[in-house]
Amino acid sequence: MIDAALEEQADWLRMWHRALVCGLPPARDVVSAEQPPAGRFGKWFDINSERGLLDQPVFKQLWPAYAEMHALGCGLARKAAGGERLSAAEYDAFMDKAQSFAATARRIRDAFQRAVYDLDPLTGVHSRRCMMTALERERERSIRTGNAVYVGLCDIDKFKAVNDEHGHLAGDSVLLAVAGRLIANLRPYDAIYRFGGDEFLLAFAETDGEQAVGIADRLRASIGRMKVLPSDGVALSVTATFGLCVLDPGEPVETTIQRADVALYQAKRDGRNRVVLWHAAPDRGGRRHG
């Protein structure tokens, strides 16, 4: 709708300039004082004004800019249609409002687009697209501060069976429920990403190995206690398996993820529904928990 508002503003300004420059009778939309202004954006805003979204500060900035531009432009168009000459100051004031609205709308649109780009559309957690950049920042911060960061991979056990037996909508319900449990039980400064399929990647900042295992085990237990009720009404129970590895400041981020993946597969071989911490032991094994 912000794109629609920008398009409508461009069309409206074109009609406005055409009427004034060419001396033509202005179209109704150019001289109407109707509030909200006619058009898709004005009608959308009016319909949604009581629904909470528009209480957000960014929209509170956008609507006054839109309404003030429209009211001033219509007033000037009526004045010109009545044979009065507009002053340069009046014209400049109107164009300043038009440019202010367009700049505000583009800033909000771009912010929303960045946010949507960074979020997984199903679960609402961060997407894999922004994951590597964020983990690289964590690696650099670990170098500066000397505080360890642990990376964890969480895999939903036997997820394919959920899809096969109950359908993909049930699988989506499970993914949403697991993501909700992970978010609810993470610390405010931890991060979660949709890694792909039924896997989530977690980053535990300023954490030692024992703490990381404890956090992951708390997440594992919370997931194991929940019941998911998809549309077919059959209550589903699921478990999850975790592989952890410290984010080595001297190694590429990809290496840490690979090691967490090794720990994850070790946990699956050991029976699932557990946490394994990777360490550089000669046998490349892990300490198993859960």
Q: What percent of the chain has pLDDT over 90?
A: 42
Q: How far apart are CA 268 and CA 274, in angstroms?
A: 8
> pLDDT confidence of 81, banded at 50, 70, 90?
confident
Domain termination residue (choose one: 117, 142, 173): 117
Q: How many structural domains comprise the chain?
A: 2
Q: What is the pLDDT of residue 247?
A: 94
Instruction: Judge whether 199 and 260 are in contact, CB under 8 Å.
Output: no
C-alpha distances in Å from residue 56, one per residue of 59, 97, 152: 6, 21, 34
Range of the domain at 158: 128-289
In a domain, 67, yes or no: yes
Q: What digits encode the pLDDT tens for the residues 130-177?
A: 899 899 999 998 989 889 999 999 999 999 999 998 898 899 999 999
Long-range contacts of 116-121 (CB under 8 A, 24+ apart): 120/193, 120/194
Query: Which pTM value belongs to this model?
Result: 0.64
> Residue 7 belongs to a domain with what CATH number?
1.20.120.30
Domain co-membership, 236 together with 277: yes
Catalytic residue list: 198
Give the pLDDT band of residue 289 (cuts 50, 70, 90): very low
In our burial notation (b when 16+ CB lie closer than 10 A, e otherwise), range 242-253 reads bbbbbbbbeeeb
The C-alpha torsion from 46 through 52 and 57 to 62, rounded to 10°, is -20
- Taking the C-alpha atoms of residue 52 and residue 123, their distance in angstroms, rounded to an integer, is 22
Q: Is residue 199 part of a domain?
A: yes
Residue 264 forms part of a structural domain: yes
Mean pLDDT for the chain overall: 85
